[in-house]
Chains A and B, each alone.
Chain A
Amino acid sequence: MSFEMWAEKYRPKQLSDMVDQKTIVERLKSFVKSKNVPHCIFAGPPGTGKTTAALCLTRDLYGDGYREHLMELNASDERGINVVRETVKTFARSRSIGEIPFKILILDEADNMTSDAQQALRRTMERYTETCRFIMCANYSGKIIEPIQSRCAPFRFTFLPREEHDNHIKHIAERENIQLLPDGAEAIFEVCGGDLRRAINTLQAAASMNKPVDAKLVYSVTGKASPHDVQKMLTTAINGDFLGARKQLRDMIQKYGVAGIDIIRQIHTEIFRAEIPEPWKIKLAAITGEIDYRLVEGADEEVQLSALLARLVEAGGEINKAN
Chain B
Amino acid sequence: MYTAWTVKHKPKSAAEIIGNPSAIKTLSDWLDSWNKGTPKKRAAFLYGPPGVGKTVTVEALAHDLHMELVEKNASDYRTEDAINRFAGLASQYASLFGGKRIVLLDELDGLMGNADKGGVKAITNIAKTARCPVVLIANNAYDPRFRTLRSYCLLIEFKKPHSSSVAKHLTRICEREGIQADENALKFIAQRSGGDVRSAVNDLQALAQGKKRLTYDDVSWLAYRDRQESIFNVLKMIIYGRTSYGAKQAVDMADVDIDMLFEWIYENAPAHLTDPHDLAQAMDALSMADVYRGRIRASQDWSFMRYVIDYMTAGVAMARQNSKVHGWIPFKFPSRIMMLSRSKAERALRLRIGLKIKRKCHISAARASKEVLPYLRIIFKNDVHMAAGIAKWLDLDAEMVEYIVGNKAKAETITAFLH
Interface residues of A (CB under 8 A from B): 1-5, 7-8, 46, 51, 55, 72, 74-77, 108-109, 112, 114-116, 197-198, 201-202, 204-205, 207-210, 221, 224-227, 240, 242-243, 246, 250, 254-259, 291, 294, 297-300, 302-304, 306-307, 309-311, 313-314, 316-317
Contact = CB atoms under 8 A, between A and B. Distances in A.
B287 A205 contact: no
A72 B365 contact: no
A46 B295 CA distance: 24
A307 B291 CA distance: 12
A303 B287 contact: yes
B271 A243 contact: yes
B386 A303 contact: no
Interface stretch (B43-51, B113-121, B208-216, B354-362): B354-362
Contacts, number: 172
Given A204-B379, A257-B369, A5 B390 contact: yes
Interface of B: 266, 270-271, 276-277, 279-280, 282-284, 286-287, 290-291, 293-295, 297-300, 336, 339-340, 343, 350, 358, 360-367, 369-375, 377-379, 381-383, 385-390, 392-393, 417
B298 A317 contact: no
A317 B277 contact: yes
Given A76-B366, A209-B382, A307-B283, A240 B388 contact: no
A257 B339 contact: no
Given A243-B271, A303-B287, A1 B417 contact: yes
Given A257-B369, A307-B283, A243 B382 contact: no
Given A201-B375, A225-B378, 14 more contacts: A204-B375, A204-B386, A208-B382, A226-B374, A242-B279, A250-B336, A254-B340, A257-B373, A259-B371, A303-B287, A303-B290, A309-B283, A310-B280, A317-B276
A108 B277 contact: no
A313 B389 contact: no
Please report whether the interface of chain B is mostly helix, strand, loop or mixed according to DSSP: helix
A3 B385 contact: yes
Contacts of A197: 363, 371
Overall SS of chain A's interface: helix
29 contacts: A1-B385, A3-B390, A8-B361, A74-B358, A74-B364, A76-B367, A77-B366, A205-B375, A205-B379, A208-B381, A208-B383, A209-B378, A209-B383, A243-B271, A257-B350, A297-B298, A299-B291, A299-B293, A300-B294, A303-B266, A307-B280, A307-B283, A310-B279, A310-B284, A311-B280, A311-B283, A314-B280, A317-B276, A317-B277
A116 B370 contact: no
* Highest count of chain B CB atoms <10 Å: which of A205, A254, A302, A306: A205
For the complex of A and B, the 3 pairs showing the least CB-CB separation, nearest first, are A3-B389, A76-B364, A307-B287
Contact of B393 (A5, A297, A313): A5
B365 A77 contact: yes
Contacts of A316: 276
B388 A3 contact: yes
B291 A313 contact: no
A273 B361 CA distance: 36
Contacts of B381: 208
Contact of A198 (B295, B358, B371): B371
A2 B379 CA distance: 15
B370 A313 contact: no
Given A210-B382, A299-B287, A310-B283, A5 B277 contact: no
Contact of B287 (A76, A115, A291): A291
A74 B286 CA distance: 31
B343 A254 contact: yes
Contacts of B370: 257-259
Contacts of B298: 114-115, 297-298
B127 to A, nearest CB: 49
B336 to A, nearest CB: 7
A272 to B, nearest CB: 20
A310 B375 CA distance: 31
A208 B361 contact: no
A7 to B, nearest CB: 7
A205 B280 contact: no
A307 B367 CA distance: 24
Nearest to B354: A77
A186 B318 CA distance: 49
A164 B10 CA distance: 74
A225 B287 contact: no
Contacts of B283: 306-307, 309-311
Contacts of B393: 3-5
A77 B369 CA distance: 12
A202 to B, nearest CB: 7
A123 B94 CA distance: 89
A87 B91 CA distance: 85
B82 to A, nearest CB: 37
